[in-house]
């Protein structure tokens, strides 16, 4: 688990943490049932305040990503597969639209971009 806090980011710290944790759960780096560090422990390691990490966890709990079991700790919750798929599709769409933007900037034709995508797709398979 890797969390990096950027002081120069316009996003508040609690959001940077919940975004990164959410990302790890969507990509599967964190799996259902995985234990997370306690809010106090995470705050200590990241050298930030307890209330900040508490807020990140609370947001993720509200979204259904995390689950706190009294006395035991915080765990990655059972995930709604459809929901996660939707999230992942959104990520793919975003990355593709970035690629399209770049291609347009270079003046690439749609067919050329498609060729590139085909080649890449075959390669990974």
Partner 1 sequence: MNKIIEINGVTKEFEGFKLDNISFGLEKGYIMGFIGPNGAGKTTTIRLIMNLLKKDSGDIKIFGMDNSKDEVAIKDRIGFVYEESYFYEHLTVKKMKDIIAPFYSRWDDEKFDEYCSVFGLLPNKKIRDLSKGTKMKFSLAVALSHNAELLILDEPTSGLDPVFRDKLMDILREEIQDENKSILFSTHITSDLEKIADYITFINNGRIVFSDQKDVLLENYKIIKGDSGILTGEIKSELLGVKENRFGFEALCNVEKQNVFSQFEIVTEKPTLEQMMVYMQNK
For partner 1, the binding residues (CB under 8 A) are 10, 12-14, 40-41, 43-44, 47-52, 55
Minimum Å gap between C-beta 24 and partner 1 is 22
- Of 17 and 24, nearer to partner 1 (C-beta) is 17
Q: How far apart are alpha carbons 77 and 57 in whole angstroms?
A: 12
Minimum Å gap between C-beta 97 and partner 1 is 28
- Of 15 and 79, nearer to partner 1 (C-beta) is 15
3-state helix, strand, coil in the chain (%, to 5): 60, 10, 30
Chain centroid offset of residue 19 CA: 5
């Amino acid at each position: 688990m890797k969390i990096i806090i950027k002081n120069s980011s316009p996003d508040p710290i609690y959001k940077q943490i919940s975004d990164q944790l959410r990302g790890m759960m969507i990509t599967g780096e964190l799996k259902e049932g995985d234990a997370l560090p306690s809010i106090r422990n995470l705050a200590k390691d990241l050298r930030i305040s307890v209330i900040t990490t508490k807020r990140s966890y609370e947001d993720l709990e509200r979204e259904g990503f995390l689950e706190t079991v009294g006395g035991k700790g915080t765990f990655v919750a059972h995930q709604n597969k459809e929901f996660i798929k939707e999230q992942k599709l959104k990520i793919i769409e975003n990355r593709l639209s970035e690629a399209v933007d770049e291609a347009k900037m270079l003046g690439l034709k749609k067919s050329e971009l498609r060729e590139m995508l085909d080649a890449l797709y075959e390669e990974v398979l």
